[in-house]
Amino acid sequence: MHSVIRFLLIGVFLLPLSAWSDEATLRVAFVYNFIKFIEWPEKSQDEAINLCSWQSTDDVDQALTQIKGKSVNTTQVIELLYLRTAEDVSQLLPQCQMLYEPRHSKTFPLPEALPKGLLVVSDEPDADKMGVAISLKRNQQGRIEFSVDENQMNIAGVVVSSQLLKLAKNIKGGQ
């Protein structure tokens, strides 16, 4: 069973863009798989995982709706929250387990102290972007790869599957 999961993960993470219908769908597939391999210890096993998206475009919104309500495990599903304004950030960010910052969103400053349990995934972030736990970037061959910042994972208080870490291109921090 674990080898089947690993094969599927590798397939999603390593296929070139041409194998997917569009860029947004591919990137959201990564986000969905990240959620499946991260455990939020402070969440009850029957509570939804709130995936928040910062100023996503229509194509990202459409891709995200494909994972709304999908199962993460036997009892948890994904709920979507869209953050479009600074007011949304202040009101909804504390409810988020994962914040997805799509590539075409406007850069916004994250609060210095992120809410406990919040994990930030960013498309093509600037090198100096603080608070990002998982970075999605396109390599020279046109494939999307991801890097993990274990320090940010630890700050968020999440448990990350070793399978996910094995697939990461780069891992920063940690012990």
119-172 per-position pLDDT tens digit: 999 988 776 677 889 999 988 898 999 999 999 999 999 999 999 999 998 777
**Torsion 55-158-116-168 (CA) sign:** negative
pLDDT at 130: 78
Of 12, 5, 8, 4, the C-alpha closest to 143 is: 12
Distances, alpha carbon 119 to alpha carbons 26, 27, 65, 86, 135, in Å: 20, 16, 20, 18, 11
* Residue 45 and residue 73 in contact, taking contact as beta carbons nearer than 8 Å: yes
Domain ranges, residue 148: 2-172
Paired strand residues for 171? 148
DSSP-based three-state secondary structure for 63: helix
Q: Are strands 134-138 and 38-39 parallel, antiparallel or unpaired?
A: unpaired
Q: How confident is the model at residue 115 (pLDDT cuts 50, 70, 90)?
A: confident
Of 130, 80, 127, the C-alpha closest to 100 is: 80
**Model confidence at 19: pLDDT above 60:** no
Other C-beta atoms closer than 10 Å to the C-beta of 46 total 9
Q: How confident is the model at residue 105 (pLDDT cuts 50, 70, 90)?
A: low
**Model confidence at 100: pLDDT above 70:** yes
pLDDT at 82: 92
- Look up the pTM and report it: 0.81
CATH number at residue 110: 3.40.50.2300
Count up the domains in the chain and report the number. 1
Q: Mind listing the pLDDT tens digit for each residue in 26-83?
A: 999 999 999 999 998 877 777 899 999 988 888 899 999 999 999 888 788 999 999 8
76: tokens are 């948890």
DSSP-based three-state secondary structure for 147: strand
